Structure 1
């Protein structure tokens, strides 16, 4: 009897439904159409994100160009503001009917103070080397070499002051230098 129990008993439902081969779609995986639709949706999202990033980049570049243009256009604004009082003082000096030598000197000294203040405010610094200072080709321009009782390649005299704006040379100091003995 045991042999009869181990034998398969036919199942009437199994005979009614024919067996279908299993496919990846049956195993819960999306169909090719679903995969394509999903990929197209992701592509559209990425394209939209790319276009937004590209537009942002263009806007940043345009704003930066505008800022640079404004900086160039108004770069001297601070200096110009500091120079207006100097011009006013000079114009007032010219309006005086009969100035005395003392009043002219006083007016020029006051105007020079205003000018020096404007230079200082805008970081325009004088280069005024002293006699015996080592010649610096980054700040000094030697126009002559003269015999002198000092070390060679040192400043003998200053013919014209130089100027720097912050750390940039505007005009070198014009000097004579000592020649080698």
Structure 2
């Protein structure tokens, strides 16, 4: 009888033990639930970094596009200025022939012949000179400048064209000794090189060496 009376007590004491075991088994789950926000925060870290990287990439692309647009604008402006500056280059090149003919006409009349000529010839020569000077002034006003090297000046292949060589001169080899036709520039561009004769001495190595006619 005693055992039967104690049996319910044993069962009753076992129930708290089972309840405690269940609570202990549930604690890790509860702890895992408590860690979820931290895990979510850790998982959200790479997402923020990716957004920041994408933002930096978009900003870099925007800056590059703005720089490219500015370069395009400057290039278009420069091309516009060049077009306005050099638009009359072809016309100016043709007018150089007129200037050359005026100078040739004056060169045919020597100084002593002009002095002995009658008044009509002198007046005509003065008219040609006036026309040649006026044409030169008009060309210069439109940005066209004359290139006329002086005797003894070093030959420059960027602005001069060697037509012949002159041996036995007092000038160093490779220097200009005679100008056949003046050269011209428009802005920074060469319209026509000055056509010249250059010195060539026997001791060229001591007086400047071989003339360089390559641009």
Range of TM-score over shorter length: 0.5 to 0.7
Query: Quick check: 1:118 aligned with 2:142?
Result: yes
Query: Match of 2:161?
Result: 141
Query: Match of 1:15?
Result: none
Q: With structure 2 as the length reference, what TM-score do the two structures score?
A: 0.49
Secondary structure (helix, strand or coil) at the match of 1:175 reads: strand
Secondary structure (helix, strand or coil) at the match of 1:157 reads: strand
Query: 2:177 & 2:76 partners in 1: Cα distance?
Result: 44
Report the Cα offset of residue 172 of structure 1: 3.0
Where does structure 2 lack aligned partners over 5 or more consecutive residues? Answer: 1-23, 96-122, 203-215
Match of 1:180 among 185, 189, 201: 201
Report the Cα offset of residue 43 of structure 1: 1.7
Query: Match of 1:62?
Result: 69
Query: 1:127 & 1:104 partners in 2: Cα distance?
Result: 21
RMSD: 4.1
Query: 2:167 & 2:72 partners in 1: Cα distance?
Result: 54
Aligned length: 143
- Structure ranking higher in helix proportion: 2
- Mapping 1:1-181, distance limit 5 Å: 31-78=38-85, 106=130, 109-119=133-143, 124-151=144-171, 152-164=173-185, 171-181=192-202
Report the Cα offset of residue 174 of structure 1: 1.5
Contact 1:147–1:178 (CA under 8 A) maintained in structure 2: yes
Report the Cα offset of residue 44 of structure 1: 1.1
Report the Cα offset of residue 58 of structure 1: 1.8
Query: 2:154 & 2:132 partners in 1: Cα distance?
Result: 33
Secondary structure (helix, strand or coil) at the match of 2:156 reads: coil
Where does structure 1 lack aligned partners over 5 or more consecutive residues? Answer: 1-17, 88-99
Q: Deviations over 1:111-161 (max 9, x none)?
A: 431221222xxxx54321112323333432212112343233322211122
| Bigger Rg, structure 1 or 2 | 2
Q: With structure 1 as the length reference, what TM-score do the two structures score?
A: 0.56
Report the Cα offset of residue 70 of structure 1: 3.7
